[in-house]
């Protein structure tokens, strides 16, 4: 393709007055295809020595030899496939592309995938273990050895275990993944110490689903849907953004209609056929209005409902005397929901009645091909937010689109569950700091109340691990976290396991660098579509070293600096906690292949992969073992579709010795329901007491919430009735995410931050006019415990009467925190008056800085946004335990004394709000002295005996002799 | 074989994956983009939509960037890809004026121009471009449009498509399905300093060094620079929309851009207006005596003739120096002469300057030897005219700038040259003294050329403007950010006052010199406005 030089140039080049630019321009690599067609990925046979031209040298032909090693992305939850292109010359990753063999992401990624390389090369990343010098939070650190870290922490844990203080140990995780791995570790230690971020994220929605059918997440089969209804923003964020977005658009191109309920114009709403800008918290009213239309117009799926809804139980309990017939059930349904007219829904939500009618009919007509999702947003914003998922699933039940092609499955049908070697038994401890009695139905740990519980003297944390977890920044009421972290009587030792600096790591005793996406192991399996798959996250440089015949024993040997990976950290730590095996821990870390020896990471995964259905055979075909197959391809599809799993026949070994309840047809074994007779067949059904979709929830009645026995609309804590508009009170929607960022984990990605670095408050022109505000003006947002000052973004993309502000932005560091995400952080001054008053002000925005990466001197943005979450009080939903994010805010124009980024919080007020919400609970015990329904799932489930309050000792352990 | 792109807006979700994948493939520095996802919000609640449009090089069939590139750093490959060779690039930034789509930028790392090259290094071995591969929605479709079986050819055959600015005659090979004019037509929205999720505070690309400075010295440098370089565009918004409408804009009534690639600033700055100015003096110094000679009027005496050539040579050297200084790759300036791309007016001009310089040197020798050669005189004058006006043809090749497409631009430059030459002699005469005939000639000559200049000004600004962008530039000049500079600098100081002075001077050397100084200042101010103003128009 080289141009021939002209006459003058040829002479000038040949006599050497100018360099010859016609050298090395000739194409000398083969073309991958026969025609002008292009293919999207190098063939796998060439992955060990893939040669391509370096883009930066082009059109000079500079050949680069790469080793291509797959792994998975660690930015959002989806764990899309990535392939690392490792430059054979430098031994470093040059770039990440997609993995065409990943069944969910199919070779494609969102903006955060390629940006992984920024995180790897971030000049501010932590490369060595650090121990604090001086007071906790003082910003002074010294480098220490991993050996000393492991010994110190192991000694402390050992002592706690020996003294029965198992409940003083906790592992608190932000980004989970790590399927099953941590459960295994904690159960080996006999510690009820799993704490997650789920109650600030999704447990509202989870509760709404679980109360219906025992499963806690939806898995829409978007590809095959005719109507897709999202109360979420899956074209830009959420579980599972990229895989879902691919399939939603695919369906749309095939003619599916996309409906989106969201008070702000998300990118998703913008792509929809029907944007329903509903008032926050009113979604359930709209959904019930749709249900009413479907019922009234006879658009429901009779066959499905007759078999798969516990309507008989409902009629018997709620309408004794009425003959138990399906017709009567429908009649009662119509009566029950008669008040939910589209006009009523309009009053509540602002969604036009005509649109509700039109969409409801389309949904009814879509029938089994109706895919839905509800994540974060409404479910996580409102008191009673779980009712949104519950009423949404109601639509799936009405249309019979549960588990169908083009419908919505429960997540668990798509999720692969690995089997482990030497699996430890369930722990015999119940930690009430995570699952307190006030919240017997809470769907996950009450993680965001930890500082409040500690302040109340409910317990302490002797050894506290935070992993990729940043509550100071991400959680509500971050100043209460700072107060608790700063108090060594509450947190004895805080070890932050993190690849990058965070506001929480500033308040740790140890900051322990852990690998990024391509620097550690993990397996992933998520409900991204109708199939079931498993993917392997692996440290790519370690794998390259192995392929090159220079294997390493530990991942940190291949990683930059002394960056460890969690897997090996936990094995080493466990080994050191129980060096002689006397605590019974060590036995779970002995290799299943080499008796008596410590298990290696390869063996751990080998054991799992050998047991993945179909994988050994697929590997064999390529002459490989399952582990090597996964190392090579990074992913495996277990099943292409997982529809109708409720119709799976009960296995004969399970049926043996079971009994069928003649009235309910429920099959039980040993008192536990295991299936149901449907049309004369013993099938598995759903994991609920009735083995059906529980339209009627006896559980709700039993646990003191009879008013919520049926799917209903719960008025939110920010319902217009609770706001005083004359005082400038509004609802703030603070939950939404951007396609380019991920919570507080992406502050180390320059290509993401140059696109988005600040978070103004969205406001409709009418509202802006009311306050005399225009785009760029400062606004003071007063919450119940303080305020923040942000800029206004006036937009027609916001529902009038509602304001919104995105999460992710407003990252900070203090002057004492010299480095840390400097691409993303404002420098702030924090002042505490010692009485619970906290003031934060911005000293400077984001600034260019000198580093090994020249781009750091080219930072052209300085506005780093405002940290809104820290000004929010906790709002635990009394049922689901979800933090209800939406805020009542009093809006005012900022005064002369207010500066951009100013923040104030009074933590005494935080405690007050916490207590108010605590009063709304209806604590355990429930029926039979239970502290939680036995049929409810629980993270890191302890032994069943601990569900009975009487069986528990003071320290949370199981009473001697119980259940033996 | 002809590669092209389709951007399918039915599918694009505005996720920016293409942006980061491209950055990763090419290691594109922070601040500049080969591809970006412009976002525009449109419509009143609840009928609001956010429109996503992937913007990048169109791989035009008639690519003005290729035509203007002086050294063939940009070229069209046989497969239709508009590729570039950064090792040839002298970073004159002409391509960035020529491309009507703002597809190019200066890479702050290599200090050369860069843009999307269709991942030619991948295509050559049969791989899809990086952005195509990453796109979750397969919203970017690449392929050989000449192959009827290809996905792109089939889509082109079955779907309605649009291109950006078809009126530019560039014949783009990037097509949009389901695109909205509010996205494709940049003049329907203005470029914001605030985007929804960000705010530009520092220079990028060519101006990235300003951002660097901020880290180590004073942040004001950047804001000042942004101001000077027109990167803070509030004024632009006001000019474009008038006060009232720009308030509307802030509250979102009209479509507005909510994301855009950062503003690259004004890339042809004072060096360019400076060299147009020095060039006017250099050529004028030769042309004015020549005109006098032609008309049989009295010309300069011997000393004046030395001055003529001296000024010519000195200011031509200054012109060359400024031309080189303007390059981001100054050491490669010889490429203009040694790797010439003959369609571009830059090497043509470069050779003209060289020949003109040689002729002046020859004339100096002849003058010293007391010889006259009519041929040399005629040739020198002819080249003086060429050197004086070629920049107008170069500007006309800058297809991105509508205002420079004015047919009178060459005349405008020629008249400036004559005015500058006349003024230079008026100043020389103050020092050396001169015969009355020559002074009288100069006085009249200057008055006539000022008159001609005013006529050209009126025709450039007051005749109906062919395009919206031209109209906006004229607005900026006569009513907007440049109004003070224009009315005071160009009109009063540069034309009317000197005209009045010359009218009453009666040949007074002092008054003539005063008028000359004002004329020279006026020319500089005018060229500064003419060079800078059109560059404020956002092209994409
Ligand atoms: S990657 Fe695809 S969907 Fe995302 S912005 Fe680019 S073109 Fe649009
Ligand atoms: S003129 Fe612009 S869009 Fe067209 S080929 Fe050149 S750089 Fe690309
Ligand atoms: S074709 Fe290549 S250079 Fe062009 S935008 Fe796509 S990734 Fe960037």
A757 and A874, same domain (yes or no):
yes
Per-residue pLDDT tens over the stretch B463-521: 888 899 999 999 999 999 899 999 999 999 999 999 999 999 988 999 999 999 999 99
pLDDT confidence of residue A180: 85
Q: How far apart are CA A574 and CA A570, in angstroms?
A: 6
Q: Whose CA is nearest to atom 1 of ligand 3?
A: B118
Among B15, B104, B14, which residue's Cα sits nearest to residue B50? B14
Per-residue pLDDT tens over the stretch A911-945: 999 999 999 999 999 999 999 999 999 999 999 99
The partner residue sitting opposite A270, judged by closest CB among B30, B49, B250, is B49
The partner residue sitting opposite A27, judged by closest CB among B122, B124, B247, is B124
A310 and A262, same domain (yes or no):
yes
CATH class in words for B3-188: alpha beta
Q: Which two tokens stand for residue B2?
A: 């002809």
Q: Does the CB atom of residue B65 touch ligand 2 within 6 A? A: yes
Q: How far apart are CA B373 and CA A576, in angstroms?
A: 100
Domain that holds residue A94: 7-108
| Helix-helix angle B436-462:B270-294, to 10 degrees | 130
What band does B214 get if pLDDT is binned at 50, 70 and 90?
very low
A803 and A899, same domain (yes or no):
yes
pLDDT confidence of residue B231: 36
Q: Whose CA is nearest to atom 3 of ligand 3?
A: B116
Contact A775 B45 (CB under 8 A): no
Per-residue pLDDT tens over the stretch B364-384: 999 999 998 999 999 999 999
Ligand closest to B61 (CA) is 2
Q: Whose CA is nearest to atom 1 of ligand 2?
A: B99
Q: Where in chain B is the domain with CATH 3.30.70.20?
A: 3-188
Q: Does the CB atom of residue B101 touch ligand 2 within 6 A? A: yes
Shortest CA gap A783–chain B (Å):
23
pLDDT confidence of residue A176: 67
Shortest CA gap B80–chain A (Å):
11
Angle ∠(B372,B378,B383) on CA atoms, nearest 5: 125
Q: How far apart are CA A932 and CA A699, in angstroms?
A: 10
Residues of B in contact with A17 (CB under 8 A): 334, 338
What band does A2 get if pLDDT is binned at 50, 70 and 90?
low
Pocket of ligand 3 (CB under 6 A): B 22, 25-26, 34-35, 56, 116-119, 129-131
Contact B142 A38 (CB under 8 A): yes
* Top-confidence residue, A763 or B241: A763
CA end-to-end distance (rounded Å), chain A: 80
Q: Does the CB atom of residue B103 touch ligand 2 within 6 A? A: yes
Per-residue pLDDT tens over the stretch A199-238: 999 999 999 999 999 999 999 999 999 999 999 999 999 8
Task: Judge whether residue A248 has pLDDT over 60.
Answer: yes
Domain count, chain A: 4
Task: Judge whether residue B241 has pLDDT over 50.
Answer: no
Expressed in angstroms and rounded, the spacing between residue B17 Cα and the centre of ligand 3 is 12
Residues of B in contact with A60 (CB under 8 A): 87
Backbone angles phi, psi at B440, to 5 degrees: -60, -45
The partner residue sitting opposite B25, judged by closest CB among A9, A55, A860, is A55
3-state secondary structure of A944: helix
Task: Judge whether residue B220 has pLDDT over 80.
Answer: no
Per-residue pLDDT tens over the stretch A698-751: 999 999 999 999 999 999 999 999 999 999 999 999 999 999 999 988 999 999
Task: Judge whether residue B240 has pLDDT over 80.
Answer: no
Shortest CA gap B198–chain A (Å):
5
In a domain, A26, yes or no: yes
Q: Where in chain B is the domain with CATH 1.20.1630.10?
A: 270-536
In a domain, A324, yes or no: yes
Nearest CA in chain B to A14: B338
Per-residue pLDDT tens over the stretch A362-408: 999 999 999 999 988 899 999 999 999 999 999 999 999 999 999 99
Q: Is the ipTM of this complex over 0.90?
A: yes
Contact B196 A739 (CB under 8 A): no
Task: Judge whether residue B224 has pLDDT over 50.
Answer: no
In a domain, A148, yes or no: no
Contact B72 A3 (CB under 8 A): yes
Q: How far apart are CA A186 and CA A184, in angstroms?
A: 6
Kindly state the average pLDDT of the residues A292-315. Answer: 98
Q: At CB < 8 A and 24+ separation, what contacts does A895-899 make?
A: A895/A780, A898/A778, A898/A780, A898/A789, A899/A778, A899/A789, A899/A841, A899/A842
Is the link from the previous residue into A59 a cis peptide, with omega within 30 of 0?
A: yes
Q: Which two tokens stand for residue A147?
A: 């050996």
Ligand closest to A246 (CA) is 1
Contact A740 B15 (CB under 8 A): yes
The partner residue sitting opposite A235, judged by closest CB among B13, B49, B199, is B13
3-state secondary structure of B314: helix
Kindly state the average pLDDT of the residues B223-229. Answer: 42
In a domain, A261, yes or no: yes
pLDDT confidence of residue A4: 80
Among A408, A391, A386, which residue's Cα sits nearest to residue A333? A391
Among A113, A634, A115, which residue's Cα sits nearest to residue B136? A113
pLDDT confidence of residue A147: 98
CA end-to-end distance (rounded Å), chain B: 28
Task: Judge whether residue B218 has pLDDT over 90.
Answer: no
Q: Does the CB atom of residue B59 touch ligand 2 within 6 A? A: yes
Task: Judge whether residue B290 has pLDDT over 50.
Answer: yes
Kindly state the average pLDDT of the residues B230-249. Answer: 39
3-state secondary structure of B80: coil
The partner residue sitting opposite A245, judged by closest CB among B13, B127, B214, is B13
Contact B46 A270 (CB under 8 A): no
Adjacent-strand bridge partners of B37: B54
Contact A38 B13 (CB under 8 A): no
Edge to edge, the sheet with strand A93-98 lists A50-53, A63-72, A81-87, A93-98
Per-residue pLDDT tens over the stretch B408-462: 999 999 999 999 999 999 999 999 988 999 999 999 999 999 999 999 999 999 8
A769 and A674, same domain (yes or no):
no
Q: Quick one: A895 exposed, middle or buried, by C-beta within 10 A (0-12, 13-18, 19+)?
A: exposed
Say if B464 is an interface residue toward chain A (CB within 8 Å).
Answer: no
pLDDT confidence of residue B213: 52
Q: What share of chain A in percent tops pLDDT 70?
A: 99
The partner residue sitting opposite A31, judged by closest CB among B31, B50, B125, is B125
In a domain, A224, yes or no: yes
Contact A796 B10 (CB under 8 A): no
Closest atom of ligand 2 relative to the B98 alpha carbon: 1
Expressed in angstroms and rounded, the spacing between residue A926 Cα and the centre of ligand 1 is 51
Per-residue pLDDT tens over the stretch B10-57: 999 999 999 999 999 999 999 999 999 999 999 999 999 999 999 999
Shortest CA gap A796–chain B (Å):
5
pLDDT confidence of residue A179: 64
Per-residue pLDDT tens over the stretch A329-372: 999 999 999 999 999 999 999 999 999 999 999 999 999 999 99
A738 and A675, same domain (yes or no):
no
A762 and A674, same domain (yes or no):
no
Q: Does the CB atom of residue B182 touch ligand 1 within 6 A? A: no
A232 and A284, same domain (yes or no):
yes
Ligand closest to B127 (CA) is 3
Kindly state the average pLDDT of the residues B127-133. Answer: 98
What pTM, to 2 d.p., does this model score? 0.96
pLDDT confidence of residue A962: 85
Closest atom of ligand 2 relative to the B56 alpha carbon: 3
Whether the Cβ atoms of residue A356 and residue A342 lie closer than 8 Å to each other: yes
Per DSSP, the residues of A832-889 read: E-SSSEEEEEEEE------SSSGGGGG--B-------GGGPPP-B-TTT--B---EEE
Task: Judge whether residue B228 has pLDDT over 50.
Answer: no
1.10.10.10, 1.20.1630.10, 3.10.180.10, 2.40.37.10: which CATH number matches B270-536? 1.20.1630.10
Nearest CA in chain B to A35: B126
- Which residue among B55, B58, B74, B81 is best mutated to probe the pocket of ligand 2, counting the most ligand atoms within 8 A of its Cβ? B58
Per-residue pLDDT tens over the stretch B299-316: 999 999 999 999 999 999
Task: Judge whether residue B221 has pLDDT over 80.
Answer: no
pLDDT confidence of residue B202: 87
What band does B253 get if pLDDT is binned at 50, 70 and 90?
low
pLDDT confidence of residue A177: 65
Per-residue pLDDT tens over the stretch A462-512: 999 999 999 999 999 999 999 999 999 999 999 999 999 999 999 999 999
In a domain, A553, yes or no: no
A660 and A745, same domain (yes or no):
no
What band does A422 get if pLDDT is binned at 50, 70 and 90?
very high
Which residue, A60, A77, A108, sits at the end of a domain?
A: A108
pLDDT confidence of residue A239: 85
Backbone angles phi, psi at A35, to 5 degrees: -115, -160
Which of B:54-73 have CB within 8 Å of A? Answer: 72
Say if B251 is an interface residue toward chain A (CB within 8 Å).
Answer: yes
Which residue, A903, A918, A933, sits at the end of a domain?
A: A918
pLDDT confidence of residue B212: 55
Q: Does the CB atom of residue B137 touch ligand 1 within 6 A? A: yes
Kindly state the average pLDDT of the residues A673-681. Answer: 95
Q: Whose CA is nearest to atom 1 of ligand 1?
A: B135
CATH of the domain at A797: 2.40.40.20
Which residue, A85, A108, A131, sits at the end of a domain?
A: A108
Is the link from the previous residue into A925 a cis peptide, with omega within 30 of 0?
A: yes
Per-residue pLDDT tens over the stretch A171-194: 999 876 676 899 999 999 999 999
Q: Whose CA is nearest to atom 2 of ligand 1?
A: B135
Whether the Cβ atoms of residue A205 and residue A396 lie closer than 8 Å to each other: no
pLDDT confidence of residue A893: 97
A362 and A408, same domain (yes or no):
yes
Shortest CA gap A2–chain B (Å):
9
Task: Judge whether residue A169 has pLDDT over 90.
Answer: yes
pLDDT confidence of residue B232: 37
């Amino acid at each position: 393709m080289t141009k021939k030089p002209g006459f003058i140039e040829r002479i000038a080049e040949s006599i050497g007055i100018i360099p010859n630019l016609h050298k090395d321009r000739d194409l000398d690599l083969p073309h991958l295809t026969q025609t002008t067609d292009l293919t999207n990925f190098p063939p796998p046979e060439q992955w060990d020595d893939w040669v391509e031209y370096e883009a930066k040298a082009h059109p000079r032909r500079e050949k680069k030899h790469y080793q291509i090693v797959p792994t998975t992305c660690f930015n959002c939850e989806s764990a899309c496939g990535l392939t690392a292109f490792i430059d054979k010359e430098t031994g470093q990753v040059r770039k990440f592309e997609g993995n065409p063999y990943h069944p969910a992401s199919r070779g494609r990624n969102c903006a955060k995938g390629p940006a992984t390389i920024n995180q790897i090369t971030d000049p501010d990343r932590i490369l060595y273990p650090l121990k604090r010098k001086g007071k906790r939070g003082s910003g002074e650190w010294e480098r220490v050895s991993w050996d000393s870290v492991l010994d110190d922490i192991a000694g402390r844990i050992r002592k706690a275990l020996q003294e029965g203080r198992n409940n003083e140990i906790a592992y608190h995780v932000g980004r989970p993944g790590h399927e099953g791995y941590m459960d295994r570790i904690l159960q080996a230690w006999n510690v009820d110490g799993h704490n997650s971020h789920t109650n600030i994220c999704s447990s509202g929605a989870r509760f709404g689903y679980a109360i219906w059918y025992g499963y806690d997440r939806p898995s829409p089969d978007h590809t095959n849907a005719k109507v897709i209804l999202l109360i979420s923003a899956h074209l830009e964020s959420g579980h599972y953004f990229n895989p879902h977005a691919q399939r939603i658009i695919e369906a749309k191109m095939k003619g599916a209609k996309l409906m989106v309920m969201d008070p702000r114009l998300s990118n998703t709403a913008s792509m929809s056929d029907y944007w329903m800008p509903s008032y926050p918290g009113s979604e359930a009213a709209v959904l019930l209005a749709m249900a009413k239309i479907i019922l009234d117009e006879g658009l429901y799926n009779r066959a499905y409902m007759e078999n798969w809804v516990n309507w008989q139980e409902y009629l018997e309990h709620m309408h004794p005397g009425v003959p138990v017939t399906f017709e009567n059930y429908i009649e009662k349904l119509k009566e029950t929901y008669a008040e939910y007219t589209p006009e009523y829904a309009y009053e509540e939500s602002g969604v036009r009645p005509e649109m509700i009618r039109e969409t409801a009919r389309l949904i009814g007509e879509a029938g089994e091909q109706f895919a839905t999702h509800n994540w974060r947003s409404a479910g996580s914003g409102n008191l009673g937010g779980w009712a949104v998922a519950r009423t949404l699933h109601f639509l799936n039940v009405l249309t019979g689109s549960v588990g169908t092609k083009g419908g919505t499955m429960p997540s668990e049908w798509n999720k692969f569950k690995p089997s482990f070697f030497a699996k430890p038994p369930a722990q015999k401890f119940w930690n009430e700091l995570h699952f307190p009695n006030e919240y017997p139905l809470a769907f996950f740990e009450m993680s965001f109340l930890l500082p409040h519980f500690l302040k109340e003297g409910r317990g302490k944390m002797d050894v506290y691990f935070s992993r990729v977890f940043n509550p100071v920044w991400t959680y509500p009421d971050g100043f209460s976290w700072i107060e608790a972290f700063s108090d060594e009587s509450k947190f004895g030792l805080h070890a932050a396991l993190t690849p990058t600096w965070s506001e929480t790591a500033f308040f740790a005793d140890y900051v322990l660098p852990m690998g990024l996406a391509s620097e550690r192991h993990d397996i992933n399996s998520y409900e991204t579509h109708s199939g079931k798959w498993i993917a392997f996250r692996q440290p790519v440089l370690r794998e390259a070293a192995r392929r090159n015949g220079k294997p390493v024993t530990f991942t940190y040997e291949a990683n930059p600096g002394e960056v460890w990976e969690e897997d090996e950290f936990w094995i080493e730590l466990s080994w050191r906690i129980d060096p002689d095996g006397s605590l019974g821990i060590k036995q779970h870390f002995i290799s299943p292949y080499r008796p008596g020896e410590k298990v290696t990471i390869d063996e751990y995964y080998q054991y799992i992969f050998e047991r993945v259905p179909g994988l050994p055979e697929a590997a064999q075909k390529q002459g490989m073992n399952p582990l090597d197959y996964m190392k090579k391809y990074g992913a495996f599809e277990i099943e292409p579709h997982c529809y109708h799993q409720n119709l799976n026949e009960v296995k004969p070994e399970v049926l043996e010795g079971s009994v069928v309840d003649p009235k309910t047809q429920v099959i039980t074994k040993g008192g536990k329901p295991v299936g149901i007779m449907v049309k004369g067949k013993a099938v598995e059904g759903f994991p609920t007491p009735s083995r059906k979709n529980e339209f009627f929830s006896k559980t709700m009645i039993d646990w003191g919430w009879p008013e919520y026995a049926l799917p209903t609309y719960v008025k939110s804590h920010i319902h217009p009735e609770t706001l005083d508009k004359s005082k400038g009170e509004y609802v703030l929607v603070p939950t939404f995410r951007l396609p380019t960022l991920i919570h507080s984990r992406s502050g180390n990605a320059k290509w993401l931050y140059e696109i988005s670095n600040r978070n103004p408050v969205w406001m409709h022109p009418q509202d802006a006019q009311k306050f005399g505000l225009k785009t760029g003006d400062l606004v003071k947002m007063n919450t119940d415990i303080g305020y923040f000052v942000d800029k206004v973004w006036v937009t027609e993309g916001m529902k009038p009467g509602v304001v919104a502000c995105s999460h992710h932005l407003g990252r900070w560091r203090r002057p004492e925190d010299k480095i840390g995400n400097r691409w993303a952080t404002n420098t702030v001054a924090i002042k505490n008056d010692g009485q619970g008053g906290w003031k934060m002000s911005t000293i400077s925005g984001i600034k260019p800085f000198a580093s090994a990466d020249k781009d750091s001197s080219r930072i052209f943005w300085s506005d780093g946004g405002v940290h809104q979450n820290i000004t929010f009080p906790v709002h635990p939903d009394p049922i689901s335990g979800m933090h209800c994010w939406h805020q009542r805010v009093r809006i005012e124009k900022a005064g002369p004394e207010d500066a951009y980024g100013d923040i104030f919080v009074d933590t005494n007020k935080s405690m007050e709000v916490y207590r108010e919400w605590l009063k709304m609970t209806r604590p355990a015990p429930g029926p039979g002295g239970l502290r939680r329904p036995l049929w409810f799932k629980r993270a890191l489930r302890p032994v069943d005996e601990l569900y009975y309050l009487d069986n528990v000792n003071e320290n949370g352990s199981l009473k001697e002799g119980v259940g033996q | 074989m002809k590669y092209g792109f389709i951007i399918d807006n039915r599918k694009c979700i505005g996720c920016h994956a293409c942006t980061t994948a491209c950055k990763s493939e090419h290691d594109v520095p922070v601040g500049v983009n080969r591809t970006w996802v412009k976002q525009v919000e449109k419509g009143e609640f609840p009928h609001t939509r956010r429109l996503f449009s992937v913007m990048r090089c169109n791989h035009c069939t008639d690519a003005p960037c290729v035509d203007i590139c002086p050294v063939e750093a940009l070229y069209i490959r046989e497969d239709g890809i508009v590729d570039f060779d950064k090792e040839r690039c002298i970073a004159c930034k002409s391509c960035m004026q020529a491309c009507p789509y703002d597809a190019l930028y200066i890479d702050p790392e290599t200090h050369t121009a860069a843009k999307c090259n269709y991942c030619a290094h991948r295509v050559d071995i049969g791989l899809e471009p990086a952005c195509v591969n990453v796109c979750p929605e397969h919203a970017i479709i690449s392929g050989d449009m000449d192959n009827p079986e290809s996905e792109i050819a089939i889509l082109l055959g079955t779907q309605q498509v649009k291109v950006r600015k078809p009126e530019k005659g560039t014949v783009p090979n990037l097509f949009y399905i389901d695109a909205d004019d509010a996205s494709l037509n940049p003049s329907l929205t203005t470029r914001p300093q605030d985007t929804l999720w960000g705010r530009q505070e520092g220079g990028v690309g060519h101006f990235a060094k300003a951002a660097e400075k901020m880290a180590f010295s004073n942040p004001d440098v950047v804001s000042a620079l942004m101001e000077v370089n027109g990167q803070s565009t509030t004024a632009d918004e006001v000019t474009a929309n008038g006060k009232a409408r720009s308030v509307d804009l802030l509250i979102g009534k009209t479509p507005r851009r909510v994301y855009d690639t950062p503003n690259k600033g004004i890339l042809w700055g004072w060096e360019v207006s400076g060299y147009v100015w020095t060039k006017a003096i250099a050529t004028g110094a030769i042309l004015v005596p020549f005109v006098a000679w032609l008309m049989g009027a009295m010309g300069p005496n011997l000393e004046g003739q030395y001055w003529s050539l001296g000024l010519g040579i000195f200011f031509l050297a200054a012109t060359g120096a400024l031309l080189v200084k303007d390059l981001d790759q100054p050491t490669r300036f010889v490429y203009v002469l040694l790797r010439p791309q003959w369609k571009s007016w830059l090497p043509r001009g470069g050779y003209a300057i060289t020949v003109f310089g040689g002729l002046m040197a020859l004339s100096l020798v002849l003058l010293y030897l007391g010889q006259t050669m009519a041929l040399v005189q005629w040739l020198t004058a002819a080249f003086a005219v060429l050197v004086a006006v070629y920049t107008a043809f170069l500007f006309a090749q800058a297809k991105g700038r509508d205002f420079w497409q004015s047919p009178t631009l060459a005349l405008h430059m020629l008249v400036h040259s004559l005015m500058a030459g006349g003024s230079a002699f008026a100043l020389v005469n103050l020092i050396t003294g001169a015969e009355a005939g020559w002074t009288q000639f100069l006085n009249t000559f200057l008055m006539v050329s000022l008159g001609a200049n005013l006529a050209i000004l009126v025709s450039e600004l007051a005749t109906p403007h062919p395009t919206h962008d031209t109209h906006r530039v004229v607005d900026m000049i006569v009513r907007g950010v440049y109004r003070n500079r224009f009315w005071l600098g160009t009109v009063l100081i540069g034309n009317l006052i000197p005209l009045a002075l010359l009218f009453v001077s009666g040949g007074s050397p002092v008054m003539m010199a005063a008028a000359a100084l004002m004329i020279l200042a006026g020319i500089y101010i005018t060229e500064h406005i003419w060079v800078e103003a059109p560059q404020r128009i956002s092209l994409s």
